[in-house]
A and B are shown apart, each in its own frame.
Chain A
C-alpha cells in the first residue's frame, strides 16, 4: 500500500476505470498520455488473467539483531518479507519493490500471482527506501547508494532463504524488480557474480531508471505543477476538494469507489498539470518518510534535532512539515553525499551521480546475457535519449512497449506474458 495521503488522494480522484473497449492484438494500451498511463489504473478488461489468491505467507528477517530501535519506531520489529510457494520443487524468483513500496504493494501482489501461476516460488522484498527496510535491514541507513543497497538486499535474500528453506524445494534462482527495484536488481546480479550464493539464471529489469539521480529529479520536478510549489499544497488540495464537491453536485451523488471515480474522470477529465502534480506528490510523500526514517536512525541532525530521544508520544508534525519541504536535491547535497564522503573524502558530487547509474556497470550489462530489460517508450522517469541507450545496451534482450508510462502496464496481459516467457527462456 502507498502511504495514506497518496493512496487516498489517488483513489479519491482517479481510481479504477471499468470501461472495456474491444481490441485485438497487437499490444494496445488504453492511455496514450504517459502521465495517465502511469497514474490511472489499467481497466480490468486488459488485466492479465491471474488467480485472485495464491498461497502466500509473510515472515520476518533480522539482519541486525543487535540493533537498538529508537522508541519512536516502537512498532518496527524485523523486515517483513513474503513467500508465495508451490507445493512441488520449482525455481524461485526474488522481486524487489519500487521506491517506497512494500513486499505487498498492489504491483508486487500482481507479480506474485502471475509468477505463481507460471510455476515459480516468489520471495517479495520491500524497497530499501521504505521505513521498514531502513530501520531493520539497511547497513548505512541511507538508501539510494546502489552498491550499498545491493549488499543489504543480498544479505536479506540469504536470510529470507534460510527462513523458508525447510518449507519449499528450490531448483534455481531468478531475480527481478521494477522501477528503483529494477536498477537495484542489476547491481544485486553483479554482486551475485562475485559471491555466487544464488547464481541467478535470469534477471529482468522492469522500467528501471538509467540514472537514479536524473529520474528522481524528474519526479521531484513534477511538484512544480502545484502553482506556488509545496508551500501552496494546502490551497491546491482545497481546490481539488472543491472541484470534487462540484463534480459531486453535478453528478448528483458521491461514492468512494472505482466506478464513480471513473465516471467522474470521464466527465471531468483531469488536466495534465494535475496528473503531474499527483505523481510529484506521491513521490515526495514516499521520500519524506524515507528521509525522516533515515535521519532518526542516524541520530538526527538533518530534519530532526541531533541527539534527542523521541518517544512513542512525540509529536512529529514539525518534522513532517520539514521532510515534505525537502527536495531530492536538498537531501542529496545536504545529507546523502556528505554521509558517504565521511568514509571516502575523495568522493565528489560528479562521481556519486555517475555511480547511481546503469552506465557505471555498462560493461557488465553488455556481457551478462542473463539480464533482460522490460521498458516503455513513454516512461516518464527517463530523460530524452535514455530509452535509446537501454536499447543499445541490451540489444535483443530489451523489450520496449510503445506505451504504458512508468510501470502503468505491469498488469497488462502482453506484459505479463513477456515476463513469464522471459524466465522460462534461455539466456538471450
Chain B
C-alpha cells in the first residue's frame, strides 16, 4: 500500500500547486510602448480553423511550471540515478531487468485488453505472461516475442478513450511528465489496481514492492530518450503537447 500512499501525496501536491500556480498569467507583460506584431495569428489563419497545436490547456501556467520542475528533477536527481544504475549494471543485466519489469506490468495490459473486450490481445497477453514467467525464468527473458507473440500495451487511459472519453485538459504531471485528465485518471486507476489486485498483492511484501517500484521507475526512465529542453526548439512545450495528444489518439485507435 506504500505505492498508493505515495500516489495520494503526489496528486495532493499537484492539486495544491494548481490552486496556487494555476492562476499565473500566460500572457506576455505589456507596457505603454507595446505594439502589435506585423504577422499575427488572427491575420494568418482563417477564423474558426481548429489547430492541432491548440490543445485544451486551461492551466498552462501550472503546466509550464511542472515542465520546468521536471527538467530540474531530471537533471539533479532522476538522470544521475539512472546514470549510476547504468554504470553499475552490465548492459546484459539491464536488459534482464527491463524484461522482468515489462513482464510484471503485463497485469495492466491484461486487465485493459480485457476491459476493452479485445479478446485475442487479452489471450496473447496471458500467454506471454505464462510463457515468459516459466520458460523466460520469471520474466527475465522474453521468448514470447521471438515466437511471434508481441506485447499488447494497453492502459486505463486507453480504455477510457476506447469508450469515448475525451482527453480533457492537458496536464504536465510532476515527475511523470506529459499527460491529460483522462490519462492521469487512467494512471491512478492502473496504479491502484496494480497495487490492490496485481503482483504486489500477490507478493504481499512492502519491501519487495518498494524495491520493484524504484527499480522499474529507473528502468523506464532509462529506456526513454526524452530530455526536457533537449529539442533545441523554443516551441518544445507546444510541440510535445501536440505530439503527446496525437500519439495517444493513435494508441487508442489501435
B-contacting residues of A (Cβ < 8 Å)? 1, 3-5, 8, 72-73, 75, 102, 130-132, 231, 234, 237-238, 241, 244-245, 248, 253-255, 285, 288-289, 292-293, 295-296, 300-318, 320-323, 325-326, 330, 334
Contact = CB atoms under 8 A, between A and B. Distances in A.
Contacts of A131: 232-234
A306 B34 contact: yes
Contacts of A320: 53, 235, 238
A322 B40 contact: yes
B27, B39, B250 — most chain A CB neighbours (10 Å): B39
B250 to A, nearest CB: 6
Contacts, number: 148
Contacts of A326: 39
Contact of A322 (B29, B44, B254): B44
A376 to B, nearest CB: 26
B233 A3 contact: yes
B100 to A, nearest CB: 20
Q: Which 4 A-B pairs have the closest CB atoms?
A: A315-B26, A308-B28, A306-B35, A309-B29
Interface stretch (B1-9, B57-65, B127-135): B57-65
Contacts of B164: none
A142 B78 CA distance: 37
B146 to A, nearest CB: 14
A315 to B, nearest CB: 4
A4 B37 contact: no
A8 B40 CA distance: 27
A305 B234 contact: no
5 contacts: A8-B243, A241-B250, A307-B30, A308-B34, A317-B54
B197 to A, nearest CB: 28
How big is the B interface, by class? 35 or more
Interface string B223-254: 00000011111111111101100100110011
A322 B54 contact: no
A314 B239 contact: no
B213 to A, nearest CB: 25
Contacts of B24: 313
Contact of B28 (A75, A288, A310): A310
Given A4-B231, A312-B64, A301 B37 contact: yes
Interface string B178-218: 00000000000000000000000000000000000000000
Contact of B37 (A75, A313, A314, A322): A322
B88 interface: no
Contacts of B40: 303, 318, 322
A248 B25 CA distance: 42
A365 B60 CA distance: 52
A198 B150 CA distance: 57
A253 B44 CA distance: 40
Given A244-B250, A301-B35, A1 B230 contact: yes
B37 A303 contact: yes
B95 interface: no
